[in-house]
């Protein structure tokens, strides 16, 4: 029987670059995370589902991803609009 490996999904809460990110919406094609600084919502980050086969996980975007497969929006409606285009 062959071994089957499962890719690690993205966590619902991620701490990165001094911000907290909370998953707002996930589809099979992408994600929306709310970026927070303490209690203040800073932005909504929208990005495509990218699988990292080297580490068997789904990638959370780094700075270099923005404008290529990740985008930042100030309001949730624009973020949802982008996600729906994937």
3-state secondary structure of 31: strand
What are 23-77's pLDDT values in tens digits?
A: 999 999 999 999 999 999 999 999 999 999 898 899 999 999 999 999 999 999 9
d(CA 22, CA 75): 15
Extents of the domains making up the chain: 14-84
3 has pLDDT over 80: no
Task: Give the per-residue pLDDT at 5.
Answer: 60
Residue showing tokens 């497969």: 69
Q: Which residues of 64-75 are buried (b: 16+ CB within 10 A; e: fewer)?
A: ebeeebbbbbee
Task: Give the per-residue pLDDT at 8.
Answer: 82
C-alpha distances in Å from residue 28, one per residue of 12, 48, 84: 15, 9, 11
Q: Where are the alpha helices (DSSP H) in the chain?
A: 76-84
Task: Give the per-residue pLDDT at 1.
Answer: 55
């Amino acid at each position: 029987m062959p071994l089957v490996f499962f890719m690690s999904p993205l966590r619902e809460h991620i701490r990165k670059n001094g911000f907290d990110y909370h998953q707002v919406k996930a589809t099979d094609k992408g994600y929306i995370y709310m970026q927070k600084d303490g209690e203040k919502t800073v932005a909504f980050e929208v990005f495509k589902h990218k699988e990292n086969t080297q580490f068997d996980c789904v990638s959370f975007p780094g700075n270099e991803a923005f404008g290529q497969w990740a985008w930042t929006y100030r309001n949730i409606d624009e973020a949802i609009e982008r996600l729906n285009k994937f």
